């Protein structure tokens, strides 16, 4: 056994020795087509020369400067670019080292905003069931992912919970889309009233749900309704775009497509596309101005805040996305990928739903297409799909197995934005093979 601890303490993963473009190669010479960008991270593929050059040049000038002493051009330029591209007045940027740190930052910023307003009684967040917002204790508490939370439950802060917007599985056949959406908003309003609006800090949700549900978009009008309720009761709307943001859905920010402006947005993953560990929080003016005119200090900070090399990498990634018109490419290639998936799996007896936006695509696997009955979680179909896909030279990101049995296993695809039609065709062909092998394996 190696000394390095991996998530699976019994089986070490293969060693990645080289990664280029759409591919990752392991120490045994196997090559894997990266159809998930790791976990929706590698949006530019691997070893992009512009990003490597930007990292090299930043390393040679200023590899590190503690943010309590200095700022850097890379961090300032990145912040300006993120703010410029953001909807509304989301024009203040705080740079951290990953998605969970971004969520922790968002929670603390939101709480301090109310403390500075003389409302220290506000301590509750509202989030959705079957959600994932990260693995640090605050982020884990916010998320509604039961199996991840279970061992740590006594350590987690209390969070109020409402239903996810998950039309495929949760909308009764007898209910139309509008009524389903209206019902979710009534549920949220009741929850706010139950907790007491004066006690609520904010509501947090992913604009397009990634890891827990598999690229589930909201129904039309859902986020507009959320925004209206947050405004009505004076609570903050926090959009977790750690997975769905930074172009993954075809716009820089996924929430742009919902026509609302959140108060706070959390970013990670695609921000630096895996070239450096980076996360960010964007906040609207009224939030930062309250702190500025109050205590003058955001009571937060990490050693690697606004790390210059990380910022330079993220900046280079964002410049490539703009220069190469990759947002438009994401929309176009996403349409192609979903069409190819529908051709391959549209009649498949165990693929219940093919969904997503841009190059953020999910397939929900079901035992029975008509009843949508999921596979028994104990079969761990998602794990079999991942293993068989690796055998077929394909990286996908499957998840599954809630204890409440209210969702099926799903496969998340999030290929790099540079994927060609030929790459997409290969992804679908290899996935078809992997799924057949996985279903065979669990029989």
Residues recorded for the chain = 443
Number of H-type helices and E-type strands within the chain: 14, 17
What is the SS3 string spanning 202-243? EEEECCEECCCCCCEECCCCHHHHHHHHHHHHCCEEEEECCC
Q: Is 94 in the site for ligand PLP (CB under 6 A)?
A: no
Which range, of 167-175, 204-212, 324-332, 354-362, touches ligand PLP by CB under 6 A?
A: 204-212
- CB-nearer residue toward ligand PLP: 133 or 284: 133
Give one word for 208, left, alpha or beta, with left for phi > 0 and alpha for psi -120 to 50. beta
Binding mask 161-200 for ligand PLP (x = CB under 6 A): ----------------------------------------
Q: How far apart are CA 256 and CA 238, in angstroms?
A: 14
Residues 6+ apart with CB under 8 A from 240: 103, 106, 133, 204, 205, 206, 266
Which range, of 112-120, 130-138, 170-178, 414-422, touches ligand PLP by CB under 6 A?
A: 130-138
Helix (H) or strand (E) holding 188: helix 177-195
Which range, of 10-18, 54-62, 97-105, 190-198, touches ligand PLP by CB under 6 A?
A: 97-105
- CB-nearer residue toward ligand PLP: 45 or 207: 207
Q: How far apart are CA 48 and CA 200, in angstroms?
A: 44
Q: Is 98 in the site for ligand PLP (CB under 6 A)?
A: yes
Least gap, CB of 319 to ligand PLP (angstroms): 22
- CB-nearer residue toward ligand PLP: 184 or 414: 414
51, 184, 235, 242: which one contacts ligand PLP (CB under 6 A)? 242
Cβ atoms of 362 and 370 within 8 Å: the answer is no
How does strand 351-357 pair with strand 360-365? antiparallel
Q: How far apart are CA 295 and CA 299, in angstroms?
A: 9
Least gap, CB of 277 to ligand PLP (angstroms): 8
Least gap, CB of 408 to ligand PLP (angstroms): 19
Q: Is 104 in the site for ligand PLP (CB under 6 A)?
A: no
Q: What is the CA radius of gyration of the chain?
A: 21
Q: How far apart are CA 63 and CA 83, in angstroms?
A: 24
132, 223, 253, 275: which one contacts ligand PLP (CB under 6 A)? 132
210, 358, 400, 416: which one contacts ligand PLP (CB under 6 A)? 210
Q: Is 103 in the site for ligand PLP (CB under 6 A)?
A: yes
Least gap, CB of 60 to ligand PLP (angstroms): 27
Least gap, CB of 353 to ligand PLP (angstroms): 20
Least gap, CB of 139 to ligand PLP (angstroms): 6
Residue number of the CB atom closest to ligand PLP:
99
What is the SS3 string spanning 93-155? EEEECCHHHHHHHHHHHHHHHHHCCCCCCCCEEEEECCCCCCCCHHHHHHCCCHHHHHHHHHH
Residues 6+ apart with CB under 8 A from 317: 43, 44, 48, 51, 270, 271, 272, 273, 275
Least gap, CB of 269 to ligand PLP (angstroms): 6
- CB-nearer residue toward ligand PLP: 39 or 383: 39
Angle at CA of residue 116, ends 115 and 122, nearest 5°: 20
Which range, of 239-247, 253-261, 281-289, 323-331, touches ligand PLP by CB under 6 A?
A: 239-247
Q: Is 39 in the site for ligand PLP (CB under 6 A)?
A: yes
Neighbour count for residue 191 (Cβ, 10 Å): 18
34, 104, 167, 240: which one contacts ligand PLP (CB under 6 A)? 240
List of residues contacting ligand PLP (CB under 6 A): 39, 98-100, 103, 132-134, 206, 210-211, 240, 242-243, 268
């Amino acid at each position: 056994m190696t000394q390095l601890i991996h998530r699976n303490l019994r089986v070490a993963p293969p060693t990645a020795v080289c990664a280029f473009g759409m591919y990752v190669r392991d120490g045994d010479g196997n090559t894997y087509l990266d159809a998930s960008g790791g976990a929706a991270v590698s949006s530019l593929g691997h070893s992009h020369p512009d990003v490597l050059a930007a990292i090299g040049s930043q390393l040679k000038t200023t590899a590190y400067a503690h943010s309590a002493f200095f700022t850097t051009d890379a961090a300032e330029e990145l912040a300006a670019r993120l703010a410029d591209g953001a909807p509304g007045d989301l024009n203040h940027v705080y740079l951290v080292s990953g998605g969970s740190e971004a969520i922790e930052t968002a929670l603390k910023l939101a709480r301090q905003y109310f403390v500075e307003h003389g409302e220290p009684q506000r301590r509750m967040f509202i989030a959705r069931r079957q959600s994932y917002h990260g693995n640090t204790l605050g982020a884990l508490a916010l998320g509604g992912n039961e199996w991840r939370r279970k061992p740590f439950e006594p350590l987690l802060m209390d969070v109020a919970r409402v239903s996810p917007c998950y039309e495929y599985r949760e909308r009764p056949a007898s209910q139309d889309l509008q009524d389903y959406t209206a019902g979710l908003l009534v549920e949220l309003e009741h929850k706010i009233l139950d907790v007491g609006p004066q006690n609520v800090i904010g509501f947090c949700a992913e604009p397009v749900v990634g890891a827990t549900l598999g690229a589930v978009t909201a129904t039309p009008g859902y986020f507009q309704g959320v925004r209206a309720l947050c405004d009505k009761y004076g609570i903050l709307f926090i959009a977790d775009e750690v997975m769905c943001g930074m172009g993954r859905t075809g716009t820089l920010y996924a929430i742009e497509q919902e026509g609302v402006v959140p108060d706070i947005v959390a970013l990670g993953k695609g921000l630096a596309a895996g070239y450096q560990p980076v996360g960010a929080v964007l906040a609207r003016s009224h939030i930062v101005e309250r702190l500025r005119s109050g205590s003058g200090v955001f009571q937060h900070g990490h050693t690697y805040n606004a790390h210059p090399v990380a910022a330079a990498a993220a900046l280079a990634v964002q410049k490539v996305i703009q220069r190469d018109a990759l947002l438009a490419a994401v929309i176009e290639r996403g349409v192609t990928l979903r069409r190819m998936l529908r051709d391959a799996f549209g009649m498949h007896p165990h693929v219940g739903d093919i969904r997503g936006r841009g190059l953020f695509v999910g397939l929900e696997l079901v035992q029975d297409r008509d009843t949508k009955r999921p596979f028994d979680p104990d079969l761990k179909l998602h794990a079999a799909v991942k293993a068989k896909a690796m055998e077929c030279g394909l990286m996908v990101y499957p998840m599954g197995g809630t204890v409440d049995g209210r969702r099926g296993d799903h496969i998340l695809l999030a290929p790099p934005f540079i994927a060609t039609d030929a790459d997409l065709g290969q992804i679908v062909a290899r996935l078809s093979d992997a799924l057949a092998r996985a279903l065979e394996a669990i029989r």
